[in-house]
Amino acid sequence: MGSATRLASAVIGTFIAGLMFFFSVTASGGDFFEPGGLAIRGYDPVAYFTDNKAVKGAENFTAQYKGSQFRFAAEANRAAFTANPERYAPQYGGFCAYAVALGNKAPIDPAAFTIVDNKLYLNYNKPTEVLWRKDIPGYIAKADRNWPEVQRKPNPKDN
């Protein structure tokens, strides 16, 4: 193989590798933690506010927000979300709020949550939620300061 052919092969190979990387990054989802391709593990963000509990969303009630797919238990919840997604979307990209306060990213358990000042905060698990509740205002202040840096960290592996 001549040097021109090797160079062309190398350029084409690099180009294809670059495209594969681009599509793997862009296909991985949007701004929220999305194990299995679903924000909040497929739970309905509106139900936290209306039912005060984690409610699994249905496949036929979905909406996209900031590149992430959300599911809803009912059409009314989907409509409420699409009318005002900032109101219902979880804080810190749907990662554990306590972990963000500590400067890290961690996955969440949809049943471990709090609503504070009409904002949804998710936690890693129920014991973490107990820790979070010991100083919610302090942890929110820390997480708010940390989030710009933390959001650039790699996403954690799903548990």
Q: What is the pLDDT along the chain (159 residues), one digit of tens a residue?
A: 555 444 333 333 333 333 333 333 333 468 899 988 999 999 999 999 999 999 999 999 999 999 999 999 999 999 999 999 999 999 999 999 999 999 999 999 999 999 999 999 999 999 999 999 999 999 999 999 999 999 999 988 876
Specify the pLDDT at position 136: 98
On whether the CB atoms of residues 72 and 61 are closer than 8 A, the answer is: yes
> For residues 108 and 149, is the Cβ–Cβ distance under 8 A?
no
Q: Which is nearest to 40 in space by CA: 96, 78, 102, 105?
A: 96
Q: How far is CA 37 from CA 28, 112, 121, 130, 139, in A?
A: 8, 20, 20, 28, 28
- 72 DSSP β-pair partners: 58
Residue with tokens 């509740």: 133
The whole model's pTM is what? 0.81
pLDDT score at 10: 36
Q: What is the largest CA-CA distance in the chain?
A: 69
H-helix or E-strand containing 116? strand 109-116
